[in-house]
Chains A and B, each alone.
Chain A
Amino acid sequence: MPIRRPIATLAGRTAGALSRLTRRGGGTAVSGLVTSALDPGFVPESLRQLHSTVTITGTNGKTTTTAALCALARAAGQPVLTNPTGSNLERGLAAALLPHVNWTGQIRDAPNLRAILELDEWAFAALAPTIRPRVAVFLNLFRDQLDRYGEVDRTAAAWQEAIDRLDPDATVVANADDPAVVAVARNHRGPVLFFGADVTGSSTTPDAWADVRRCPLCDGRLDWNRVVYAHLGSYRCLCCDFHRPKTAVRITDFQPGGLTGSSYRLITPDSDGYIQVKLPGLYNAYNLAAAVVGAQAAGIPTANAKDVLETFQPAFGRAETIHAPGTTITLLLVKNPTGANQTLDLLRSEPEPLDTLVLLNDGVADGEDVSWIWDVEFERLAPRRLQVGGRRAEDLALRMKYAGVAPTVDDVQVLPGIAPALDAAMKAGSTDRTRRLIVLATYTAMLDLRAVCTRRGWVAPYWQSAA
């Protein structure tokens, strides 16, 4: 143990406590930032004491998949260490580890403890070689914050380097329906398990903004016999032998249930049955399928997976319900075109048009480049009333104008602050019998909105509701 470890852990704990005291946040990122900066070996060396580590990465669905995998492990009576607030950089892992580490750097009951960790795409690439996961789950690869991550091909190349350095007996779990993911996962030296959805899409061509249009191996033309959404689906290359691989776990007979849930048949090597979950949308079906394969690969029993998944609640900000006086708010995180378009499809599946508030921020965690809203098909949105807000509310209002969304776009009020926009949206709907408000928000806008709701006593702070 390096001599600095006790100092680093103490400094991290102090910073976290100060952060909570000063109400600046849950203290989650601050404590980890201090610890991992003072002691770079802290995260990998702490994780190596544990029974094993499972990592979950991908553009969309990390937080939900991680939470579902944790729920499966806990239901099987297995203790779990996780980073549940979506703090998915190295500092987030350090913060998750800190409470378990004593002053000599030892973790109590380490041989029985399993780490199930969500990792940012680039954090995975950087950390995987040192934290050496037993199971590495890859969900999908979409364009997301190009100003921070650069191009999608670069992320795929970084994943490939990390996969090449995984232990040969580690298991890779990957989305069979995403050609960009399959192209890198298939090169793993050890076992690779795929999950996918056998559902009939409405199209056989990827969306215009999709990131994969051609074969990732040879640039040849990809032939889709179905597209589920974006570039996910069943495909084969017309020029080489690249094609959708066979799946270990698959979803069929998907039945949407609007914003409040969905049902489908989940087929795994040792089970086959229908489940009814509280998570909406096909994108969440992928997440839960990934969690089940991940659990099986990690040796977590999944005999009671149906019960666990059927009672599983959405993670904070992901179709979360907030009860405000007189209004039920549904909060939906949107952060990139694929996720946003999926969310718009959910809204469209609701029986009637809904009062809708859309919030766009341009913080580092949101992406400082707001161009991506022009890849979101707001043309699909048919709200009853529309309110926009956030630091780039004007950009949203303009996007809505060109999408022809609001029948009278000049009626769309532009209120950059989060609280004023929320108040205006709630006031607009307050004379109605059914008081429902849908909020679509980017990451920091979602946190800001939740902070407003927390101050007003409508919801617990995120670090408590995530625990």
Chain B
Amino acid sequence: MTASGPVLRIAYLYPDLMNLYADRGNVTCLVQRCVWRGITPEIRRLEWNDRLVEAADLYVIGGGQDRQQQLASQGLTTRNADRILSDLADGAAMLAVCGGYQLMAHRYRAADGSELPGLGVFDAETIHPGANVPRCIGNVVCDWNDSRLVGFENHGGRTYLGTDAAPLARVLRGHGNNAEDGTEGAVAGAAIGTYLHGSVLPKNPHLADHIIRTALAHSAPEFKLEPLHDSAEWAAHRAALRVAGLR
């Protein structure tokens, strides 16, 4: 395919620290779905002590272990808050998964009571109820607009949305944000936070394209996304519905 389309600048936040649960599969998916349509993805991988200078059209961050999450929180809040928040205010898109999602809300209160500050992209906070409370682990299916999202969740923290936050989806199977209110993830402008991995984007190609579309709306609003041949994607999506006990 010819690369006649626009460039998509992707800032991949802290792959060194936040790479649990194969979240890099999301980047693989975004890159391929761009390349297949002649969009040129430009990926910038941010290390812990890096400072982002140039703007990005799309931010991606995955999940991490507790210790790595502390480092990521420091890197985000002390070095890169202004850049990220001003890009998002300009309409840049974001996919924040699991630990990354927690760090994009106001704060994360760990099992030991210590608090990690987040960027406040989402009006939400996360509380870890303690090491003896079971984690939220298992297959997830949720309603998203007129369709479904599938994935696997594995998180100790419970996320509670504030009045200014909209949930991404409604849980049909699994726990979602907190196992209480039926919400999963959060949306703020073109930023999406979610607990789904699996990796989430490859078997939810409609979500992957939604993210590429909103990111391009920021940089190349006239470009139209061609549909792709997604039979393998939807077969894996259906397999995830099956293991979650739906269909």
The answer to whether A213 touches B71, judged by C-beta atoms less than 8 angstroms apart, is no
Q: Mark A190-228, 1 if CB is under 8 A from B, else 0.
A: 000000000000000000110001100001000000000
B9 interfacial contact with A, CB 8 Å? no
Q: Assuming the A-B contacts A370-B198, A372-B22, are A394 and B137 also in contact, with contact meaning beta carbons closer than 8 angstroms in the complex?
A: no
The answer to whether B19 touches A371, judged by C-beta atoms less than 8 angstroms apart, is no
Q: Kindly identify, within residues 265 to 316 of chain A, every residue whose CB is under 8 Å from any CB belonging to chain B.
A: none
B238 interfacial contact with A, CB 8 Å? yes
Q: Mark B189-205, 1 if CB is under 8 A from A, else 0.
A: 00000000111001100
The answer to whether A371 touches B24, judged by C-beta atoms less than 8 angstroms apart, is no
Q: How far is the CB of B239 from chain A (nearest CB, A)?
A: 4
A147 interfacial contact with B, CB 8 Å? yes
Chain A residue nearest in CB terms to B203: A398
The answer to whether B24 touches A394, judged by C-beta atoms less than 8 angstroms apart, is no
Chain A residue contacts of B65, Cβ below 8 A: 151-153
A209 to B231 CA separation, bound complex (whole angstroms): 28
Contact of B20 among A146, A394, A398, A402 (CB under 8 A): A146
Q: Assuming the A-B contacts A371-B197, A398-B202, are A209 and B24 also in contact, with contact meaning beta carbons closer than 8 angstroms in the complex?
A: yes
Q: Kindly identify, within residues 364 to 408 of chain A, every residue whose CB is under 8 Å from any CB belonging to chain B.
A: 368-375, 391-395, 397-399, 401-402
The answer to whether A369 touches B232, judged by C-beta atoms less than 8 angstroms apart, is no
A213 to B16 CA separation, bound complex (whole angstroms): 7
A424 interfacial contact with B, CB 8 Å? no
B135 interfacial contact with A, CB 8 Å? yes
The answer to whether B202 touches A373, judged by C-beta atoms less than 8 angstroms apart, is no
The answer to whether B21 touches A371, judged by C-beta atoms less than 8 angstroms apart, is yes
Chain B residue contacts of A392, Cβ below 8 A: 239, 243
Contact of B152 among A369, A375, A409 (CB under 8 A): A369
B13 interfacial contact with A, CB 8 Å? no
B78 interfacial contact with A, CB 8 Å? no
Contact of A374 among B28, B68, B139, B238 (CB under 8 A): B28
A209 to B152 CA separation, bound complex (whole angstroms): 19
Chain A residue nearest in CB terms to B240: A395
The answer to whether A151 touches B66, judged by C-beta atoms less than 8 angstroms apart, is yes
Chain A residue nearest in CB terms to B26: A374
B89 interfacial contact with A, CB 8 Å? no
A41 interfacial contact with B, CB 8 Å? no
A41 to B210 CA separation, bound complex (whole angstroms): 58
Chain B residue contacts of A394, Cβ below 8 A: 232, 235-236, 238-239
The answer to whether A398 touches B233, judged by C-beta atoms less than 8 angstroms apart, is yes
Q: Mark B215-247, 1 if CB is under 8 A from A, else 0.
A: 000000000000000011101101110010000
A447 interfacial contact with B, CB 8 Å? no
The answer to whether B66 touches A153, judged by C-beta atoms less than 8 angstroms apart, is yes
Contact of A397 among B22, B71, B232 (CB under 8 A): B232
Number of interface residues, chain B, beta carbon within 8 A: 37
Q: Assuming the A-B contacts A147-B137, A209-B19, A394-B239, are A401 and B232 also in contact, with contact meaning beta carbons closer than 8 angstroms in the complex?
A: yes
The answer to whether B71 touches A147, judged by C-beta atoms less than 8 angstroms apart, is no
A369 to B138 CA separation, bound complex (whole angstroms): 8
Q: How far is the CB of A423 from chain B (nearest CB, A)?
A: 21
A150 interfacial contact with B, CB 8 Å? yes
- Majority-rule SS of A interface residues: helix
Q: Assuming the A-B contacts A369-B154, A402-B32, are A374 and B232 also in contact, with contact meaning beta carbons closer than 8 angstroms in the complex?
A: no
A18 interfacial contact with B, CB 8 Å? no
A428 interfacial contact with B, CB 8 Å? no
A residues neighboring B (CB under 8 Å): 143, 146-147, 150-153, 208-209, 213-214, 219, 337, 362, 368-375, 391-395, 397-399, 401-402, 409-410, 414
B25 interfacial contact with A, CB 8 Å? yes
Contact of A395 among B24, B138, B231, B239 (CB under 8 A): B239
The answer to whether A153 touches B239, judged by C-beta atoms less than 8 angstroms apart, is no
B15 interfacial contact with A, CB 8 Å? yes
B7 interfacial contact with A, CB 8 Å? no
The answer to whether A371 touches B233, judged by C-beta atoms less than 8 angstroms apart, is no
A153 to B131 CA separation, bound complex (whole angstroms): 14
Chain A residue contacts of B154, Cβ below 8 A: 146-147, 369
Q: How far is the CB of A78 from chain B (nearest CB, A)?
A: 41
Extra A-B contacts (20), CB below 8 Å, given A151-B66, A153-B67, A368-B138: A146-B20, A151-B20, A208-B15, A208-B24, A362-B243, A369-B21, A369-B154, A371-B198, A373-B22, A374-B24, A374-B25, A375-B25, A393-B239, A395-B240, A397-B236, A398-B232, A399-B202, A402-B25, A402-B29, A409-B232
Chain A residue contacts of B15, Cβ below 8 A: 208
A150 to B65 CA separation, bound complex (whole angstroms): 9
A375 to B17 CA separation, bound complex (whole angstroms): 15
Chain B residue contacts of A153, Cβ below 8 A: 65-67
CB<8 Å pairs between A and B, sample of 14:
A143-B20, A362-B243, A369-B21, A370-B152, A371-B21, A371-B152, A371-B198, A371-B199, A372-B22, A374-B22, A374-B199, A395-B203, A402-B29, A402-B202
A386 to B137 CA separation, bound complex (whole angstroms): 32
Q: Assuming the A-B contacts A373-B22, A394-B238, are A402 and B139 also in contact, with contact meaning beta carbons closer than 8 angstroms in the complex?
A: no
Chain A residue nearest in CB terms to B237: A394
The answer to whether A371 touches B22, judged by C-beta atoms less than 8 angstroms apart, is yes
Q: How far is the CB of B23 from chain A (nearest CB, A)?
A: 8
Chain B residue contacts of A398, Cβ below 8 A: 202-203, 232-233, 235-236
A393 to B20 CA separation, bound complex (whole angstroms): 22
Chain B residue contacts of A399, Cβ below 8 A: 25, 202
The answer to whether B139 touches A368, judged by C-beta atoms less than 8 angstroms apart, is yes
A394 to B234 CA separation, bound complex (whole angstroms): 9
A362 to B240 CA separation, bound complex (whole angstroms): 11
Chain A residue nearest in CB terms to B229: A410
Q: Kindly identify, within residues 46 to 76 of chain B, every residue whose CB is under 8 Å from any CB belonging to chain A.
A: 65-68, 71
Q: What 3 pairs between A and B have smallest CB-CB spacing?
A: A374-B25, A374-B22, A394-B239
A153 to B28 CA separation, bound complex (whole angstroms): 26
A146 to B32 CA separation, bound complex (whole angstroms): 27
Chain A residue contacts of B17, Cβ below 8 A: 213-214
Chain A residue contacts of B199, Cβ below 8 A: 371, 374
Q: How far is the CB of B35 from chain A (nearest CB, A)?
A: 10
Chain A residue contacts of B243, Cβ below 8 A: 362, 391-392
